[in-house]
Chain A
């Protein structure tokens, strides 16, 4: 029994289980003292917030800061020894590699959960008429599918960034290791709060939480708001840490334009996540207070304006999709040269296109509101700014094409996923302008066309690249390889299953299928397409299941990975696998360009070389 409590995560969950009733009881007690009848909603909100704080206190995430505030000396983060073996992943650790894996585990758990939600309502949609879901539950599942997977994606990009970025830039750790641990751990109780919204009646609004419906619906929406708010802080603090790391922690001699291209994408993503995320947090807080205190921000009945909610919400939620895809696109640019054995085409253009997407991404949010009744003069400017996104995105596509051109392609599993990513993202990209143009969008808005388009961008920009990244860096993490055979099965099932789903959704969308509805008229003739989409959806699920099996099998009994597995030029592959605790023994020395594949005798970096006597003396 005592052994269980030595796991930090167990103490965290106990902290949450204690904190929640304390917060609930506090509010209920005040209400009782004031002689008012029990109003459960504020009690649940405060309970959820106290629960998250309880989790973090139980975990011990604040204890170092507590001692620092009292002016006491604390250990340097890197002096702290993690417990050996897999146990370290279940506790508070300040090592960026452990936190990266922790992010990855949380991301995969949320991926499985969000995917399961989708399968449930997909099964409901397989035939017209109502099958087994109530309308209320259907709506809640659709909304949670969206938000749980957004959390999963944020955790996934954080996993890649945390694990890989310090290795790529030759740093010993992130700039703020304690903050890094907090950013991860706050997301764990937040995810629990988010999902527990189902227990309070769910919510009807979908993931967007549009007012005024969110003001009137069941109180599950409150836990949804609180959960997302904390996940948002996880994202903000993680982004802050990554920017500081990339700006400050590069190995001496590595210029910004000489660092691996993934660092540029992560920098661009982090700039957006740092700033825009506050706006969704604010919009959700305002709705939360509108429900609790009757503050009329958004409900027209009280003089508010629901369009304001949409402006605040989309100011984050549109840049959010770039936050999701930019690291994925960075992974494509980073890995493609390794597998085609050619230099990356147009390094500076790619670096700048990431920043360009980040910049333009701030100026396009209102294209989600063309049909919402917003100010009419905003339509055309937002249409133009939206179409402008195609320019930096096009730069990336042309660079990938030129990089692959006449390359010596090595068709290993990560390369399959890179090709899948590029082709699926192309589908997502070229179906976009139709939705960004006002005249055509008025016809396809709120239809399944949008669903198909959106999922193509997410699969091409995140899902496929993240799988490529996992297959690529898994040996670095575990010292073992994943199965190539299972990996290729995984790829083909996912690719075919996804393409059928996406094109099927776009087709019925153009024919008039509305999104976010639990039932449709059999006379529309959509029964067969919906059945096919559902079957393809299950194919995607089987593919992901194969991936999980491959992960498990690879970690336990995979073929040992030796040396520079992919013949990469980047520093992490010149060090032993799995990566030693403090990364590199000696500072990484930059001696060349990062992507000069095929150039005889050239090197990007020298790693773990014995230090020259002169340097030692100078030290």
Chain B
């Protein structure tokens, strides 16, 4: 066997580095979607904002921020070999993610005084929260799969790329909300 044939199946560490670059490139790309939505919000609404329930906004934001804490715990715990802690933390993150979705789609969308067809404020609010909720939903599905495979012991201290990817994705979606929350709930005056 020649040297090259031996390197054909490059090492796990090597593939991991490549996969990380791929994931981060995806984040950069996806960030442009959210950037475009933020630009649209300020272009159309300027210094006004839609009339929203501040309490609900504060609660869902807190829920999402706390979920990122547990997500990080889960990743640290699997890398330290604490499989039980990892499963518990992932489950908590998952539940908090679902709670966020219920808060935005199930509560805020229902109690809002306007629909998506009520002028630019309605359009911007439902598009931004909808696009973000879609990402949270995909993150929740991702976490559910990680939890399933975690329960079956598919991840080890060394090999848990799926956990790392899910965690980074979760933090990314959380970070987006850190920009969206003030843009929708705090900046400007209610028109």
A residues engaging B (CB < 8 A)? 69-71, 76, 78, 172, 175-176, 179, 236, 240-241, 243-244, 247-249, 274-279, 281-283, 286, 289-290, 293-297, 302-305, 308, 311-312, 315, 582, 584-587, 611, 615-616, 619
Chain B residue with Cβ nearest A286: B127
Flag the segment in B21-29, B51-59, B181-189 that touches A.
Answer: B21-29
Distance in angstroms between the alpha carbons of A593 and B168 in the assembled complex: 40
| Residue contact B4 to A282, C-beta cutoff 8 Å | no
Flag the segment in B102-110, B112-120, B169-177 that touches A.
Answer: B112-120
| Residue contact B120 to A616, C-beta cutoff 8 Å | no
| Residue contact B4 to A584, C-beta cutoff 8 Å | yes
B8 within 8 A of A: yes
Q: List 17 A-B contacts (CB under 8 A).
A: A69-B145, A71-B152, A176-B18, A179-B22, A240-B26, A241-B22, A248-B17, A274-B28, A278-B32, A282-B33, A289-B127, A311-B39, A312-B40, A582-B8, A586-B4, A615-B3, A616-B2
| Residue contact A281 to B25, C-beta cutoff 8 Å | no
| Residue contact B117 to A619, C-beta cutoff 8 Å | no
Tell me the count of chain B residues lying within 8 A, CB to CB, of chain A. Answer: 37
| Residue contact B3 to A619, C-beta cutoff 8 Å | yes
| Residue contact B119 to A303, C-beta cutoff 8 Å | yes
| Residue contact A276 to B32, C-beta cutoff 8 Å | yes
B188 to chain A, nearest CB (A): 16
Distance in angstroms between the alpha carbons of A520 and B124 in the assembled complex: 41
Chain A residue with Cβ nearest B40: A308
Distance in angstroms between the alpha carbons of A114 and B124 in the assembled complex: 36
Q: Which listed residue (B18, B44, B154) contacts A308, Cβ 8 A?
A: B44
B123 within 8 A of A: yes
| Most chain A CB inside 10 Å of its own CB: which residue of B2, B7, B33, B145 | B2
Indicate whether A619 sits within 8 Å of B6 (C-beta atoms), given known contacts A244-B18, A286-B127, A297-B40.
yes
Distance in angstroms between the alpha carbons of A243 and B154 in the assembled complex: 30
Tell me which residues across on chain A come within 8 A of B117, comparing CB atoms: 293-296, 302
Dominant SS at the A interface?
helix
Tell me which residues across on chain B come within 8 A of A241, comparing CB atoms: 22
B residues engaging A (CB < 8 A)? 2-4, 6-9, 17-18, 21-22, 25-26, 28-30, 32-33, 36-37, 39-40, 43-44, 116-117, 119-120, 122-124, 126-127, 145, 149, 152, 154
Indicate whether A240 sits within 8 Å of B22 (C-beta atoms), given known contacts A275-B29, A278-B32, A295-B126.
yes
| Residue contact A295 to B127, C-beta cutoff 8 Å | yes
Indicate whether A303 sits within 8 Å of B22 (C-beta atoms), given known contacts A282-B37, A619-B6.
no
| Residue contact A296 to B119, C-beta cutoff 8 Å | yes
| Residue contact A297 to B152, C-beta cutoff 8 Å | no
Tell me which residues across on chain A come within 8 A of B8, comparing CB atoms: 78, 172, 582
Distance in angstroms between the alpha carbons of A293 and B122 in the assembled complex: 11
Chain A residue with Cβ nearest B120: A303
Tell me which residues across on chain B come within 8 A of A587, comparing CB atoms: 3-4, 7
